[in-house]
Structure formats: structure tokens, C-alpha cells
Structure 1
Amino acid sequence: MSNNNVSLSFDGDRAYVALDRPDKHNGLTIEMLRELAKVAGVIGKRADIRVVILSGNGPSFFSGLDVAKAMSNPLDVALAFLPLPWKGTNVFQEACWAWRRLPQPVIAVVHGRCYGGGLQLALAADFRFVTPDSEFSVMEAKHGLIPDMTGAATLSRLIGVDKALLLTMTADPVDATYAEKIGLVTEVDADPRAAAEKLADRIAARPAHAVASAKKLFDRTWQASVRRTLAVERATQFPLIVRQAMGRGTNSAK
């Protein structure tokens, strides 16, 4: 399945999503943004899918928004900024946040440039495995802008407010070694795809409901007070304990 330069394929309990505009370093168009959210929705309905692996074809993972292409239709860009009904996101934000909404863990496999919106998409994944020559930049400040594809919700969560501000205000590119040091990426590996597959195997060996609940737990509590966090923790854990007591704690996708 491939539409608007975003491809989706399935293999066993894995879903593979690839940005497929290699001649433009996967520079995003408005159509690709909408397609990313649509593809995430398709995966979310598949109870048999345990892990999602997100990557980019060609020389880079994702070089950011293709501004020239997007601005060829200013009205479409303006409409894309409007919040989507019932979502709390606009088209730009939903292209990233749709992956956080998935019950399945998402692993981004990154190589080459990971700039702007591309970095924000990678940050919306649960894990990031990257090549040693990968390069990262919160580059919006170069254009007088701020990260607006959920980067404000993910950057400080991963690396702290000071480092998030440093990367955002300077727009300086950083290498994979530094990115790993500050916690921007999960792991640097010469073969990030193989590393991602190994992690997927380990995750898929655990009960699907526990994995989904763990993702939901941390997403709901990372900015909450301790009291709120503990309350959500209890509410999340209780049905899992009941499930175990009823003998349903098997490694199934149901």
C-alpha cells in the first residue's frame, strides 16, 4: 500500500511505514501529512499488529517540510492549521501525534538528515534507532518559526527544558553521538533496522495488553503531578491484575 509518498506494509505481527519521496529527502507535503495520520489510523485497527517500524527511503529519514511545495497552495496550508474536530490537533500535529495514540509501540529507524518536522515525527515514536552519521536539527528558528508538529510536547519530555530550548533557539544541527548523550535518540547502531527488529522481537514476546497499557501509562503521566501519576498508575494496573487473576495474561494481541 503506497499513497502520497507514504508506504505501508505488513509482515506477521509487524507494520512497516516508510516515507517514500527519496528525491526530496522525504520533504513533507500537506498530502503526506494527511497520509501519515491516515496510515496510523489503519494500523490502530489491526489487533494482530504488535510493533510498528517507521523509516524513510533514500538518503535521509526526513528533511522537514517541503516549504516550496506546501506554499504553492497557501489556502491548503491555512486550512491545515485549523484544529481537527475531536482531535485537539491540526493536520501538522496529527501527522506526528497519531503515532503516540497507537496502542502499539512505534520504533523509528533514522539515517541521514532528521530535520524540522522529521525530527518531530521521530520524537513521536516510542524509540529511535539511528545510524552513526545521522544528523538532527530543530531547524524552525532558521525560518523565524517554532516547532509546531508536537515538538513542544516531546522535546522537553525527552531531554529537559534547557536542552530543548538550546536546540530550538539555535537551530544548530547535532550529530548522533551528541543526540544519544542528551537522550534525544534511544541508540546509535551501524544497522539500526536490525536493532529495531531485535527490540520488536523482545516487545512482541510480552502480552500485548501489558505493552499497550505501559505506553498509555507513561503518555498520560509524564507531565502530571505525583498524585495524579500514582492515581493513573493504579487505574491502569488494576485491570491488568484482574486479567492475570482470571488467567488471561497470555501473549496475545487481543
Structure 2
Amino acid sequence: MGDHITLRFESERAYVALNRPGKHNGLTLEMLRDLVATAKEIAAHDGTRAVVLSGNGPSFSSGLDIAAAARDPLAIVREFLPRPWRGTNTFQEACWAWRRLDVPVIAAVHGRCYGGGLQLALAADFRIAAPTAEFSVMEAVHGLIPDMSGVATLSQLIGIDQAKLLTMTADPVDAAYADRIGLITAIDDDPSAAAAALADRVATRDPRAVAAAKRLFDSSWHRRPRAILAAERAAQIPLLLSKSRKGGD
């Protein structure tokens, strides 16, 4: 695991933090791979009952660091190809891996929660946000669409009109608005403490029942995620090709 993702196990809880504070936890390709590896490590760790996902520094995450990723275009191509046995590519699995866990994942959000960072938070089972947190489906700013499982998770959380509005405008919204439309679970002045408290509450329940409930809801809510993830990739490819022909932004 790289330096930009930290993991610690404590009292049946796993605490995961994005750790690139100087860049508002902008996500690099290495961080995406590390998020996948971290989720796998947690899945293999006996006794974990809940996960708290947060970001160090001023923000949860400002999204994909496009400038850093663009330095290695071949790597982008490699990571964009889906794994047939999973139905996700690395960008999608960095988020969707948290849905695969049998234990609840709680995102503690503060500062910016933009783009890929928002899609990561949406892949958690619960999102507790600071009152000053800001959210944006910002891919349209770069001429793209959300394709890190964001379409799958947005469709489970909010109405289609709100999902289109957030995606087509890329406007940042505050925590109060996000709470009102169902994008987040709750607002708290100390989201990390609130997330830890929720983890403690869930951990008192039978882990088999909690795992069964998570699997049941995730497998039966609207469309099958695999089909949506494939649709995300299909919609993104012509946009990426168009940007390539134009030489990028």
C-alpha cells in the first residue's frame, strides 16, 4: 500500500484515510489501485465489523488528479479496461470495492467532495458530512461523465432529475442541499466522530445479519450494478476519444 492511503485496525473497526492533504486528496492512479488493495485487505481481515473512510487535511477528496493521470496515458488505458470476472475497471473498482465488503462502510466527509471523491463517498453505505462540506459531480467541467460507479450509486440514492441536474451542471452544492435530496445520510459538526459512533452502533449487531442486509439491499435496488457499470464505460469511451483527437483540454 502506498503512502497516500492509510489503514489501521482498531477494536473491530477499520479506519481508512486518503492521505494526500496538500492536493486535497486528489486521486492518482496509484491511489485508485491502493483503494482496491485496501478493500481486499479489509475483506481478508477477520473480525472487522465496520469501516470508516475519511480524508486527511482540508478535504475528503477533490476528485481525480487529471494532470497527474495524464502524464501516463497508457496507464489510463490499462486501468480503464474492465476485469471480466468483476465487471469493473480500476476506476470503478476503487469505489465499488467498498460495496463488495460484507461490513458497512461509513464515509466521514469534510471540505471538498468532488468528482471521483464524491463517487468514492457514494459507494459507502452511509455518508456523514460536516456542515461546510461541498459536493460536486464535476466531470462535466472536463467534458466527461461520472464513470467510477457514480451512475450506479446516484441511481440508488436520489431522483433521476436531481442526478441529471448535478451531473449536467457540475455545480457544487452544500451539505444542507445534499442532505435535502438524499445524497448524504446526515450532517454533523464532527463527521469523523459521528462516523466512529455509528460504526460502534452497527458493530453491536449480529455481523451475519448486517452482512445479509447489505447484500440484500445492494443486490435488489433498481438495476443490476454490473449493467450500469458497463453502460458508464460505453458512454465514456467516445468522450475520451473525442478529447484525444482534440489533444485534450
Fold similarity call, TM over 0.5: yes
Deviations 1:111-138 (A, max 9, x none): 0000000000000000001100000000
User: Which residue identity is paired with 1:56?
Assistant: G
Q: Secondary structure at the match of 1:27?
A: coil
Contact 2:5 2:18 in 1 (8 A): yes
The SS at the match of 2:61 is coil
Cα shift readout 1:206-250 (whole Å, capped 9, x = no counterpart): 00000000000000000169xxxxxxxxxxxxxxxxxxxxxxxxx
Helix, strand or coil at the partner of 2:68: helix
1:101 aligns with 100
Provide the aligned length of Structure 1 versus Structure 2: 224
2: CA distance, partners of 1:15 / 1:157: 25
Matched AA of 1:38: A
Question: Which stretches in structure 1 are left out of the alignment for 5+ residues?
Answer: 226-254
1:3-14 matches, cutoff 5 A: 3-14=2-13
1:45-65 Cα distance to aligned partner (Å, 9 max, x none): 123000000000010000001
Instruction: Find the aligned partners of 1:68 and 1:118 in 2 and give their Cα distance.
Output: 16
Counterpart-to-counterpart distance in 2, 1:9 and 1:197: 13
In structure 1, distance between residues paired with 2:74 and 2:223:
37
| Aligned-partner residue type, residue 6 of structure 2 | S
2:138 maps to amino acid: M
**What SS does the aligned partner of 1:3 have?**
coil
Deviation at 1:85, TM superposition (A): 3.8
So what's the TM-score if we normalise by structure 1? 0.86
Counterparts of 1:205 and 1:9, CA distance in 2: 20
Matched, 1:24 2:23: yes
Q: Deviations over 1:13-49 (max 9, x none)?
A: 0000000000000001000000000000000112300
Separation in 2 of the partners of 1:160 and 1:45?
35
Amino acid at match of 1:126: D
TM-score using structure 2 length: 0.88
In structure 1, the residue matched to 2:45 is 46
What is the distance in 1 between the residues matched to 2:211 and 2:22? Answer: 36
Residue deviations 1:133-185, cap 9 Å, x none?
00000000111100000001011210111110110011000000000000000
What SS class does the counterpart of residue 28 from structure 1 fall into?
coil
Partner of residue 205, structure 2: 206
Counterparts of 1:196 and 1:26, CA distance in 2: 19
Kept in 2, the 8 Å contact 1:40–1:98? The answer is yes
Distance 1:201 1:53 in 2: 10
Residue aligning to 1:155: 154
Shift of 1:199: 1.1
Moved over 4 A (4+): none
- Greater RCO (Cα-Cα under 8 Å, separation 6 or more): 2
**Larger Rg: 1 or 2?**
1
Partner of 1:170: 169
Aligned counterpart, 2:78: 79
- Percent same amino acid among aligned pairs? 65
CA RMSD in angstroms comes to 1.1
Question: Is the CA contact 2:94–2:120 (under 8 Å) kept in the aligned structure 1?
Answer: yes
Match of 1:193 in 2: 192
SS at match of 1:7: strand
The amino acid of 1:52's aligned partner reads: V
Match of 1:121 in 2: 120
Q: Which amino acid is 1:191 matched to?
A: D
2:34 & 2:196 partners in 1: Cα distance? 24
